[in-house]
């Protein structure tokens, strides 16, 4: 059996309800560039969002989460259009 890729492992974790920081993606999954992993998942049409909250010390902490179900084709096309500068953010 082939070993799952970093993207597949991150996707499975998010799909199972995990909230991951960039440090989590880097340390748990061995991703050299966590943002690139998330961008690839978004371009593939997965609704991955970055939520920022303040912790008990008042420091902002950002975590990636899987969003609600939507058409993967529509989500992927939207992220690609934004990346190409075709839409205003």
Distances (CA, A) of 83 to 39, 43, 56, 63: 10, 9, 34, 21
pLDDT per position as a tens digit, 42-61: 888 888 999 999 999 999 99
Q: Is 88 strand, coil or helix?
A: coil
| pLDDT band with cut points at 50, 70 and 90 for residue 69 | low
Dig out the tokens for 79 from the structure: 């992220």
Is 70 exceeded by the pLDDT of residue 1? no
Scored b (16 or more CB within 10 A) or e, 14-32 reads: beeeeebebebbbeebebe
Percent of the chain clearing pLDDT 70 (strictly above): 91
pLDDT at 4: 86
Domain 6-83, what fold?
Arc Repressor Mutant, subunit A (1.10.10)
pLDDT per position as a tens digit, 16-34: 999 999 999 999 999 999 9
For the chain, the domains span 6-83
């Amino acid at each position: 059996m082939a070993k799952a890729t970093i993207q597949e492992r991150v996707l499975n974790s998010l799909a199972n309800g995990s909230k991951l920081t960039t440090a989590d993606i880097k340390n748990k999954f061995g991703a050299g560039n966590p943002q690139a992993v998330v961008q690839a998942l978004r371009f593939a049409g997965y609704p991955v969002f970055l939520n920022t909250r303040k912790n008990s010390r008042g420091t902002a902490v950002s975590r990636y989460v899987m969003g609600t179900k939507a058409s993967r084709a529509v989500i992927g096309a939207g992220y690609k259009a934004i990346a190409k500068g075709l839409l205003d953010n």
